[in-house]
């Protein structure tokens, strides 16, 4: 069995990545400095946890998959995942290493539990991963990544209940995988934002802060909230928050918040939470 060390929920947005690259070159924009500063404790937490592997639940933004055929759930089983070029060139970071020996048993276990995943022997990762990655780790990335991509773009998207069940299944898989890895489970999805239509620019700091608080011990309350309701109050793209339920359900019910932080630099609510698994198995 592998040991689950803890979980992270974190926002992503293209500007987060852009502002990182600009910030390390020229100093951070005053609006983005709080996000850089606010992610330092998570980076330190990861340094102390020393995970060997990280399961990442994220969504692609039509930079690898497209609307011709959009998989509901896809799992990356490759040994390496390059960065996706989103149209303005690659950022100065290496690709991410995977671990097929870790990935396949997890994939098989999820299928046995009823999650019919698309297996990706090639997969490029867009800002759904790369926008936050350098805030949490220094390159070359010190751990192997198992990406699980969720369709959050082409409706109907998976229900909150389904995403929660995926997390519970992931937990079973990790604790029975016959491997001996130290694992952090991370889910990423933008907090409140809407980037099209008449409500372009909608954000909802109150909702975001409620979400960050409730994910720890009131996940049932969140999961019971239809995605459509989140889209109404927090913007259509805030539907991505439902992926955080997968991370939460992969942890023990008794997992507790080690740290959380929120800021709203521009367009998208940026929050992060790190949860400690109470008794790492081993």
Residues forming the site for Fe ion (CB under 5 A):
190, 240
**Residue nearer to Fe ion on the CB measure, 99 or 240:** 240
**Residue nearer to Fe ion on the CB measure, 60 or 277:** 60
Query: From CA 60, how far away is CA 125, in angstroms rounded?
Result: 7
Question: Which distant-in-sequence residues (6+ apart) come within 8 Å of 270 by Cβ?
Answer: 11, 13, 16, 35, 191, 262, 263, 264
Q: Least distance from C-beta 176 to Fe ion, angstroms? A: 31
Q: Least distance from C-beta 82 to Fe ion, angstroms? A: 19
Would residue 193 show up in a list of annotated catalytic residues for this protein?
yes
Catalytic residue, from 12, 61, 127, 164: name it. Answer: 127
Which two tokens mark 16?
A: 């987060």
**Residue nearer to Fe ion on the CB measure, 95 or 190:** 190
Q: Least distance from C-beta 92 to Fe ion, angstroms? A: 22
Q: Which among 146, 141, 148, 171 has a CA at the least distance from the CA of 43? A: 141
Angle at 282 between CA 217 and CA 98, to 5 degrees: 85
The residue nearest Fe ion at its CB is 190
**Residue nearer to Fe ion on the CB measure, 45 or 130:** 130
Query: From CA 3, how far away is CA 171, in angstroms rounded?
Result: 10
Query: From CA 145, how far away is CA 184, in angstroms rounded?
Result: 10
Alpha-carbon Rg of the chain, whole angstroms? 17
Question: Which distant-in-sequence residues (6+ apart) come within 8 Å of 215 by Cβ?
Answer: 9, 222, 244, 248, 273
Q: Which among 166, 170, 185 has a CA at the least distance from the CA of 273? A: 185
Would residue 12 show up in a list of annotated catalytic residues for this protein?
no
Catalytic residue, from 164, 193, 196, 258: name it. Answer: 193
Residue written as token pair 């992270």: 8
**Residue nearer to Fe ion on the CB measure, 6 or 190:** 190
176 preceded by cis ω (within 30°)? no
**Residue nearer to Fe ion on the CB measure, 240 or 276:** 240
Q: Least distance from C-beta 126 to Fe ion, angstroms? A: 9
Q: Least distance from C-beta 281 to Fe ion, angstroms? A: 32
Q: Least distance from C-beta 268 to Fe ion, angstroms? A: 8
Sheet holding 268-276, edge to edge: 118-120, 73-76, 144-150, 53-58, 182-188, 3-10, 268-276, 256-266
Residues taking part in catalysis = 127, 193
């Amino acid at each position: 069995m592998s040991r689950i060390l803890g979980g992270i929920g974190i926002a992503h947005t293209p500007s987060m990545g852009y502002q990182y690259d600009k910030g390390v070159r020229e100093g951070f924009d005053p609006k983005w400095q709080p996000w850089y500063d606010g992610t330092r404790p998570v980076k330190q937490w990861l340094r102390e946890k020393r995970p060997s592997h990280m399961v990442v639940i994220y969504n692609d933004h039509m930079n690898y998959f497209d609307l011709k055929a959009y998989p509901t759930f896809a799992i990356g089983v490759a040994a390496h995942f390059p960065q996706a070029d989103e149209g303005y060139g690659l950022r100065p970071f290496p690709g991410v290493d995977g671990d097929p020996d870790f990935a396949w048993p997890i994939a098989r276990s999820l299928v046995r539990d009823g999650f019919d995943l698309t297996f990706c022997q090639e997969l490029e990762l867009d800002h759904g991963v790369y926008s936050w990655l350098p805030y949490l780790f220094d390159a070359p990335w010190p751990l192997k990544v198992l990406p699980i991509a969720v369709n959050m773009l082409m409706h109907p998207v998976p229900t909150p209940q389904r995403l929660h069940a995926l997390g519970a299944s992931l937990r079973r898989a990790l604790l029975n995988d016959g491997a001996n890895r130290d694992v952090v489970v991370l889910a990423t999805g933008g907090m409140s934002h809407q980037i099209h239509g008449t409500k372009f620019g909608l954000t909802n700091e109150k909702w975001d802060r409620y979400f960050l608080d409730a994910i720890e011990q009131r996940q049932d309350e969140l999961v019971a909230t239809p995605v459509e309701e989140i889209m109404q109050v927090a913007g259509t793209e805030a539907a991505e928050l439902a992926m955080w339920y997968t991370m939460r359900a992969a942890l023990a019910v008794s997992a507790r918040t080690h740290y959380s932080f929120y800021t709203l630099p521009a367009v998208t609510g940026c929050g992060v939470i790190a949860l400690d698994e109470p008794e790492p198995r081993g």
